[in-house]
Amino acid sequence: MSAPIQLQPGETFILNVGPQHPATHGVLRVKMEMDGEYIVKAETVLGYVHRMHEKMGENRTYAQYLPNLSRLDYLGALGYTHGHVLLIERAAGIEVPERAEYIRAITVELNRLASHLFWFGCYVMDLGGFSPLMYALEDREYILDMLEAVTGARLTYCYYRFGGLYNDVDDDFIEAANRFIPRMRKSLKKYAALVTGNIIFQKRLEGIGHISAEMCRKYGATGAVARGSGIDFDVRKNEPYSVYPEFDFDIPVYHECDSMARFKVRMDEMEQSLRIIEQGLAKLPGGPIMAEKKPKNIKLPVGDFYQAVETARGSFGIRIVSDGDKNAYRLKLRSPTYSNMHLFDEACEGMMIMDALAFMGSLDLVIPEIDR
């Protein structure tokens, strides 16, 4: 029998978290150099689900690339497709009917809610609470049912088209959405009492995982991560697109810079999304959902185009360099979680391991979107 291994004082060991670990929510691998329970250095290793989405965009026509975008972030897929169609429409000069843009805004916000609900449930489960996940998934199910009835799919929607939409929404959808809003408001109150007010939850998040505003700027973090560090930036307000300027909504910003601040930002965002959906349904104009003048085979003029949108995870940018052909010369996807995740290496130095995993959850990582 061999003697147990004794670590010398000051000696560290390597702990490998992932790539198949439930707390990393995907195939992310973190190599942690540990001193006892404390992290000395962490290194995130990527590339386990790299599918060459950017290269695919260069080999396919713009319309054929549409299904790819919902496979980046499977939880908030509509936001990503929205960015792509907005860019192509702007570059090719396609006028989009107002009704189509309103439906896009409503469905994107519904999808953002679904994404935040799933994050909320999983995050609480990361910290050891199981029931909130079930309640959140029940609410999310209503959204998925609504979106399934309209788009025909539950996760990978592929609903928007250049110049409009694939299908029009029907009265059932509007009725279901109107019924859902008060239900969701009630649920948010329930979550606030059950989770946000919970003393164990608070003690595990408050003051943990400090990310300064300076650090957010350094790594290019956006979304709830930046807004939890006091940076008042949301693409919907700062670089308005679609019909967002016509909605009255607030951008929640917290200055505590800790995991609790990021949690609260997302919880408040759900309420704001509900406000946008409510206004969108009330204002929803009639008319066509597809542009009348639309070229059959879309070719972009020669040039360099960029469009940023606010997805559930932050600012998503898509850049297309066109040489006038029917597919892109170069297509670059700027994914929000890629920047948000790289904070982790620096921010978790000196943290205890269970705090680090609680901190990782507050970044809301979706790995297929990082690897693309």
Partner 1 sequence: MGGYFSDIFNGSKSLLIGMGITFREFFKPIVTVQYPYQTIKMSARFRGHIELIADEEGKPKCVSCGMCERACPSGCITLGSVSVEIEVDGKMKKKKVLSKYDLDFTKCSLCGQCVENCNFGAIEFSKEYNLASSNKEDFHFNLLKRLEERNV
Residues that bind partner 1 (CB under 8 A): 60, 63-68, 71, 131, 135, 138, 141, 145, 148-153, 156, 158, 166-167, 190, 193-195, 197-200
**How far is Cα of residue 129 from the mean position of the Cα atoms in its chain?**
23
| Structure-token pair, residue 12 | 């560290």
Q: Least distance in Å: CB of 355 to partner 1?
A: 19
C-beta of residue 88 within 8 angstroms of C-beta of residue 162? yes
Distance CA 186, CA 182 (A): 6
In the complex with partner 1, the residue whose CB is nearer, 145 or 323, is 145
Q: Least distance in Å: CB of 138 to partner 1?
A: 6
Q: Least distance in Å: CB of 144 to partner 1?
A: 11
Sign of CA dihedral 247, 315, 117, 110: positive
**3-state SS, residue 230:** coil
Q: Least distance in Å: CB of 67 to partner 1?
A: 4
Distances (CA, A) of 38 to 9, 10, 23, 211: 14, 12, 18, 18
In the complex with partner 1, the residue whose CB is nearer, 12 or 196, is 196
In the complex with partner 1, the residue whose CB is nearer, 331 or 365, is 331
In the complex with partner 1, the residue whose CB is nearer, 94 or 215, is 94
In the complex with partner 1, the residue whose CB is nearer, 6 or 297, is 297
C-beta of residue 346 within 8 angstroms of C-beta of residue 209? no
Kindly report the length of the chain: 372
Distance CA 372, CA 355 (A): 28
In the complex with partner 1, the residue whose CB is nearer, 197 or 240, is 197
Q: Least distance in Å: CB of 366 to partner 1?
A: 18
- Residues 6+ away with beta carbon under 8 Å from 19: 27, 28, 29, 45, 48
Distance CA 217, CA 254 (A): 16
Q: Least distance in Å: CB of 203 to partner 1?
A: 8
